[in-house]
Each structure stands twice: as C-alpha cells, then as structure tokens.
A and B are shown apart, each in its own frame.
Chain A
C-alpha cells in the first residue's frame, strides 16, 4: 500500500496507542446480554456472552444472519448498551458512561467501517474524512493535513474532491476506512466491510485492514460472511444464536 503515508499518519499518533503491548485484553465483554422487546415477546440476542480481545488482534466474526453479530459490534463500539453485563475497554467500564461521555469515548477510541459505507453524500471525500476531526480542537491546516494523510493511507490522495456518488463502491469503502482511522483510534470495528464489494475489490480492502493491523497496531474486529475474508484475520469466532464458539456449528 502506501507506506510512506502510513509513517506520516504514525507521526501523529497519540502516545497512549504506542504503548501497545501492555498486559490484559484491550476489549472485554463480561456476561453481556442483549434483550430486545417487541411488544409482549422478548428476543435474547446475546446470552451472557464473554469475550476477550487482546491488543493487536485481528478478529473475524462469522455466523448466520440474525445471530447477533452487528449487535455485538455495536456494544463493543459503544453505540448500543447491553441489557446486562459489562463492557470494559482499556480498563474503562464504558457501559456505565453517560451518553455524552460515551460519544467522546467513541470519537477517540473507535473507528467504524460500515457495510453501506455511510458517507455523507453532500460532502467530498476529504470533507467526509475531516468530519471526526471537527470534534478535536485543531486548526484548519492540521485537519486538512490529517485528512489527506488518512486518504493517502487508503490510496485515494487523487480523489480528495470527489463526492461519494462519484466514487466506486471500493473507493467509497476506502474513504470510510480513512474516516475510521483519521482520529487514530486503537480499535477498528468493521461490520461486513466487503459485503457490498466484488472479490477483487474486497481483497484490496482486506489487505488494507491487515496492514492497519500489522503495521499500525490497530485492533481490528471484522464481521464477515466470507470464509475467504475471515482467513485474513488472525483468528475467527463463530456466533450462533447469541453464543460464541471457536468452531462453526455443524
């Protein structure tokens, strides 16, 4: 990929992320339960789930549709709350955070990559990547520098001014990844990042995620339905009806 640009981005890393290989898991779920109520019936999507994800891990999450993968990712990323249980990230019990504290925490700790990219259609690639930086007290110039560095990492330095509608699916997902890494968070949560892409384009995205994991120390959790994609990860867990296991259910 673009290693010089990578180094460029590394230079703006916060010290917290550099002291990577400290002891203990980065993310850990303790007996996390998620119950949805729909009228009178209740659906228990996650059942007293335990999970430890060490720093520097690249975890692939597989499982049938409706098994609760997205629900798990949302709880890991602090955009949803468990009905019961604990979510501890880097020693912080984020399930106890207030809405605002959780928002601040998300901004600095998690980068989300969505299957549907979720770029803002009215903004250019560069503006989309700049979005999270609005939350930081930075000058215009530094914002621009960081956004361009992130876009260089994903190989889109020539497409700064393109609107999402003017980009291919693969390119849009690269912009999505650039947006996820521009704040230099330690964690990347990718929910079916290649779900809407063809094999070759998807491979490019997966290589990029591998690179971010291996060269940049990002802890990556990726949901996928594609065993070929999961093979890129360091390990794979299988989710079945809200329960995790090492092996796919027969």
Chain B
C-alpha cells in the first residue's frame, strides 16, 4: 500500500514537488500569521481586570497630588492602592537603553500588583532598605543585574542637590507571568525618591494603581474614582489594565479578521492547487485503478489509496510548513517581542493547521473519487 502511494506521488515528480512546496509555503504563512495574531490577541491573557490605573486626565502624562491615593483607598470595592512616580532614566553602564524607574509606595505596590512575585526574602530585604530596588525579570536579564548589585540611574529628574544621579541597590527580582511591558520595571521606594527631590517636585505622582475586589465592577469603580476628583483642579482618568490593553490592541486594527481573511484566501488557493494535482494524478491513473480492481482490490481500498496519497502529501507539507514557520517566527521574535510579547506559535494553532491539512486532503481526495469508483474495469482494460 505504502509503495503504491509513494509510487503514485513519484509518478510526476515535478508536479508533486511544486504542489508540496505550495503546501509548505501556505502553512509557513499560516504559522507566521497565527503567531502574529497570538502576539496581538494574546496580550489580553496576562492582563488583569482586577487592576485599575489612574492617570491625570487634565494634562496627559501630567502629575497628580500624592494625596489622591489616600482618597481612592476609601472608594468601596478598592482593596489596595499604591501611588507611584515614573522616572525616565538610563543605567550608567548602558546609556543607550532606557530604564523605567517606578518609585512606588513600597508597602502596598506588591499588594496591588499581586501577579508580581518577589520572594519573601527579597521583599523583606527591600522593605528594610531605603535605597533598595526590585527589578523585573526582563529588565534584569537585559541589563545583566544580579541581586546585591549597585545600580546607578541617570535621570533628567534632578535631586535637591542638583544632580541627576540616583543610587539604588538590587534586593531581588520579581517573577511575573504578565506582559513584558510589566516585566521591565525597576521598583524603588517612593519615600526615598520623594525625600531627595526639591520641595516643588515633592508629593506628586504620575500614576495611581488600584486592586479591586470584583473585576466585573471595574468600569463602575473606575467611574466612582474619577467622580471623586470632579471638583478638583486635576481630573483623573481611571481604567482597568484590560481596558487599556484593549485600546492598544485596537490600534492594530482587527488583526484576527485580517489574519482570517488572508489565511482563508491562502488556503482556498492551496485547496485549488492540491485538488488540481490530485485530480490530474487520479485521472491519469484510471487504467491503473482498473488493473488494481482486476487484481482483486476492493473499491474501498482504492478510496484509501487516494486518501492516503492526499494525506501523505498534505500532512508532510503542513508539518514542514509549520516547522519552517516556527523557525521563521523564532528569527522574528527579537524584533517584535517588545510590542507583541505574546508572539508565539501556540499548540492550538498547530492543531488548527493540521486539521486544515486534513480537510484539504479529504476534499482533494473526494473530487476524483466518483470518477475513480465509476470506472468500468473491462472498458478501461481495453486500453483506449
């Protein structure tokens, strides 16, 4: 049986090879598309609907009074609050790479960011160390930092003494299954930073983060928080991390639809190519099928033969294409990882690909089937 299938495929080698390459190319494209889609849509995965972010609405990117955090803490549904000031800076040894320092209220920040897990030892060391810092895993990896390292950050935010040099000590690294954007923070003590600032700069925060008790009420609680400051000069904009991410994803357009459209077009074209190949191949072999019938092959066995040929061609092509696509996305990963952190060929995508290959096989084998089953053996064997 196997030699029969193999022989059938080897009959017109060039045609088989070109069809095989079409399948490989289509499935390579499929795996790249699926990976990009996962990169975009998958970002939602690690994002919590129980975390809210509050920003200055009046001046975009502006600061808010530190006191806002205390008032937010009293909003029903809010279980933890932490205020933080984002300090843009660079590490002294790698001035080209920006580092985002989060000067956060250290007693509460890891309660709000409950998905970020420094070890208890690291957390205790951090809390007892005013100059202490906890780094995100991605950041630590990128910078080559280890616990105990002294970290000097240069910033445009000047200290009271007029210098932009900030000294910290790394007490630990948090583990996080969250977007890489959130894996690159350097968390330091707000109190320590605040005290070093000139008086006019003090007691200001760029962001307040909240944890709420019921993710389904995130919109309602966000509104309650913003209402709180309706009468103040600085208004707030509060939304869940999820809502924020959704807005970001919307910027990519409807990626899923795009991927679906391109994928469907490619696979439809592929279907036509494969159908054409198998139809021609079956058509050329009608006499051979008649010979096999004469030798005692039941028609069901001929069906398997045709199906086996389609499956061998499609599944091997699909497997090669998925593998090639995986390899390609590995090459692309470095370039896109910062934007599409979830960029990955998922098992679901691989299975989807194999199922598509299966369906194409069934359709392509099904088309010449009636013709093959309908052959009249004596007439075919007359050799005309």
> Residues 371-384 of chain B: 1 if any A CB is under 8 Å from the residue's CB, otherwise 0?
00000011001110
A127 to B1, CA, bound (A): 10
A77 to B377, CA, bound (A): 12
> Residues 273-313 of chain B: 1 if any A CB is under 8 Å from the residue's CB, otherwise 0?
00000000000000110011111111111000000000000
Q: Is the CB of B7 within 8 A of A103?
A: no
Q: Is the CB of A107 within 8 A of B378?
A: no
A115 to B384, CA, bound (A): 13
Q: Is the CB of A80 within 8 A of B296?
A: no
Q: Is the CB of A70 within 8 A of B382?
A: yes
**Are A121 and B11 also in contact (CB < 8 A) when A103-B297, A131-B4 are?**
yes
- Number of interface residues, chain B, beta carbon within 8 A: 25
- The listed residue (B10, B296, B299, B382) touching A104 by CB distance below 8 A is B296
**Are A120 and B288 also in contact (CB < 8 A) when A79-B293, A103-B298, A135-B297 are?**
yes
In the bound complex, residues from chain B placing their C-beta under 8 Å from that of A100 are 298-300
A161 to B8, CA, bound (A): 17
In the bound complex, residues from chain B placing their C-beta under 8 Å from that of A70 are 378, 382
Please report which residues of chain B, range 42-81, place their CB below 8 angstroms from some CB of chain A when the two chains form the complex: none
Write the nearest CB–CB distance from B120 to chain A, whole angstroms: 63
A118 to B287, CA, bound (A): 8
User: Which residue of chain B has the shortest Cβ distance to A77 in the bound complex?
Assistant: B294
A130 in contact (CB, < 8 A): yes
**Are A80 and B383 also in contact (CB < 8 A) when A112-B294, A130-B3, A131-B292 are?**
no
A52 in contact (CB, < 8 A): no
Q: Is the CB of A107 within 8 A of B295?
A: yes
Q: Is the CB of A106 within 8 A of B295?
A: yes
In the bound complex, residues from chain B placing their C-beta under 8 Å from that of A179 are 295
- Counting residue pairs across A and B whose Cβ atoms lie within 8 Å, the total is 72
**Are A103 and B291 also in contact (CB < 8 A) when A80-B377, A120-B7 are?**
no
User: Which residue of chain B has the shortest Cβ distance to A71 in the bound complex?
Assistant: B378
Write the nearest CB–CB distance from A194 to chain B, whole angstroms: 16
- The listed residue (B8, B297, B382) touching A122 by CB distance below 8 A is B8
A121 to B10, CA, bound (A): 10
A115 to B381, CA, bound (A): 10
Q: Is the CB of A74 within 8 A of B378?
A: yes
Max chain A CB contacts within 10 Å: which of B287, B292, B294?
A: B294
**Are A122 and B293 also in contact (CB < 8 A) when A79-B378, A79-B381, A100-B298 are?**
no
> Residues 1-27 of chain B: 1 if any A CB is under 8 Å from the residue's CB, otherwise 0?
101100110110000000000000000
A100 to B301, CA, bound (A): 11
A130 to B3, CA, bound (A): 10
> Residues 346-384 of chain B: 1 if any A CB is under 8 Å from the residue's CB, otherwise 0?
000000000000000000000000000000011001110
A127 to B5, CA, bound (A): 12
A130 to B292, CA, bound (A): 12
In the bound complex, residues from chain B placing their C-beta under 8 Å from that of A122 are 7-8, 10-11
A22 in contact (CB, < 8 A): no
A114 in contact (CB, < 8 A): yes
Q: Is the CB of B3 within 8 A of A132?
A: no
User: Which residue of chain A has the shortest Cβ distance to B6 in the bound complex?
Assistant: A122
A99 to B381, CA, bound (A): 17
**Are A123 and B7 also in contact (CB < 8 A) when A80-B377, A114-B381, A118-B381 are?**
yes
In the bound complex, residues from chain B placing their C-beta under 8 Å from that of A107 are 295-297
**Are A108 and B296 also in contact (CB < 8 A) when A70-B382, A80-B378, A118-B287 are?**
yes
In the bound complex, residues from chain B placing their C-beta under 8 Å from that of A116 are 383
A-B pairs, top 4 by smallest CB distance, nearest first, are A107-B296, A122-B7, A106-B296, A80-B378
Task: List 9 additional A-B contacts (Cβ < 8 Å) besides A77-B294, A79-B377, A132-B295.
Answer: A80-B378, A100-B300, A105-B296, A106-B294, A106-B295, A118-B291, A120-B288, A135-B297, A179-B295
